[in-house]
Amino acid sequence: MTDYGAIRNKYLEGGKESTLAHVEEVANTAEWLGRIHGLDVEKLRLAAMLHDVSAVISPDEMYRIATERGMVIDPAEEKYRFLLHQRISKIMAREEFGVTDEDVLSAIECHTTLKKGASVYDKAVFLADKISWDRGGVPPYYNELKTRAEKSLDDACLYFIRYQFDNGLLLMPHTWLTEAYEELKGMGDTKFSFRKATAEDCLALSELKKTVWNSTYQGIYPQERLDGYDVKKNEEIFRGIVANPEIELYVAEDAGEIVGFMTVGKPYKLYEEYDQEVGLLYIRKDYQRKGIGRRFMDIAKAEVEAKGFDRFILSVNAQNAGAIAFYTAMGGEIVLDDGGQKRIMHKIAK
C-alpha cells in the first residue's frame, strides 16, 4: 500500500510546498489521462507524486549523486544540472520509497525529456507534467495540448516537443528529447483514439475482421475458409462479446473509422488454465506498424492487472511470423508450439 502521507511529508519537510501542489495537480491530470486511455491510474498517480521528489536537494547535490554512481551525464545535464532531477527522482523513488514497478520508475525518469521507446506511462506522465503548468497562469499551448492528449498520447507528445523547438523554449536539447522527437516524427502525426466497443460497432468490426483475414491469411488459411467468412454471423458473435461482462472489447479509431480491435478477458475454454486471454487482436494492414498494436498490449496489461491477475495468454497462427515477432518483442514467452498455433504468455511486471 503506497504511503502517500510519507511522500507529501518529504516535500513539506524539504520546504517544497509549491512543488507538492504541482505534483498533486500532475497526479490528477495523469489520472484523467489514464481513465481516457485505459491505463492503471494508481501507477500514474504514484509516478506523478514522485516525479519531482528530488526537488528537496540542490542541483549540485544531484550532480554529485550522479557522478558518484557513475551515471552517464548528458551534455545538457552537464551544463544545466537541474535537468538531472528526473533521473535522481527515480533513484529516490526506488531507494527511499521502495518503488519497484518499472512502469512507474521509467515514467519518473523521463518526465521532463521523454525518451526513445517511451511507454504509454512515460508519455502520460510527461504530458500531465506539461498540462499542469507550474509557473502561474495558463500556458499558451494548453488548449491544443489537452485536446490532442485526449485523442492520442503520441500525437500530443509530438506536438509539445515540436512546440518547444519551434518556440525556442529549450536551453539546450537533451539527447533523450531529441531521440524521442525523431522517433515520434517517424510515427507520423497520428491521431488514433481508443475506446470500448458498443453494439453499434459490431457490423464494422465484423467487416474489419474479414478485411484483415483476407490481407493476412492468404496462403495460410484454405481459400474456402476465407471465402466462407460470414459477415452477419460474425456480427452476432461480436454482439455477444460486447454484452459479455467478463470480456472487454477495445477499438482503435482514426477520424472516427475503426481500424483495429482487441478483446481481453476470460479465456476461451481451451485456455482455462490461464487467468486472462487476449483472444482477438486485428489491425487493418495499412495501419500496422503505427503503434496501435503496442497500445493495445498496454491496454491489455492494464486491464489484466486491474482485475488482480499477473499474466495473460494469446494464441497466434504458427505461420504468422510478423505477429509472433511482435508479441515476443513485447515481452511474451512462447509456452506451447503445436505446429499450427503458438501460445504466447505475457507476465505483468511488478
Q: Which residues sit opposite 192 in a β-bridge?
A: 254
Check if 4-187 and 192-347 are the same fold. no
Number of neighbouring beta carbons within 10 Å of residue 51: 30
Number of neighbouring beta carbons within 10 Å of residue 4: 14
* Residue that is written with C-alpha cell 528529447 in the block: 177
Residue 350 has what pLDDT?
Answer: 57
What are the sequence ranges of the domains in the chain? 4-187, 192-347
Rounded to whole angstroms, the Cα distance separating 313 from 346 reads 6
Extract the C-alpha cell encoding 155. 500525437
Instruction: Provide φ and ψ at 211, rounded to 5°.
Output: -60, -45
Residue 191 has what pLDDT?
Answer: 64
Residue 190 has what pLDDT?
Answer: 52
* CATH architecture of the region 4-187: Orthogonal Bundle (1.10)
Rounded to whole angstroms, the Cα distance separating 193 from 26 reads 22
Run of H or E residues at 110: none
Residue 189 has what pLDDT?
Answer: 46
Extract the C-alpha cell encoding 105. 520508475
154-193 pLDDT per residue, tens: 889 999 999 999 998 898 999 999 999 998 887 654 568 8
Extract the C-alpha cell encoding 211. 478485411
Residue 61 has what pLDDT?
Answer: 98
**If you classify domain 192-347 with CATH, what class do you get?**
alpha beta
Number of neighbouring beta carbons within 10 Å of residue 56: 17
Cβ 322 vs Cβ 222: under 8 Å: no
Q: Mark the ranges of the chain whose per-residue pLDDT is less than 50.
A: 189
Rounded to whole angstroms, the Cα distance separating 36 from 150 reads 7
**R_g of the chain computed on alpha carbons:** 22
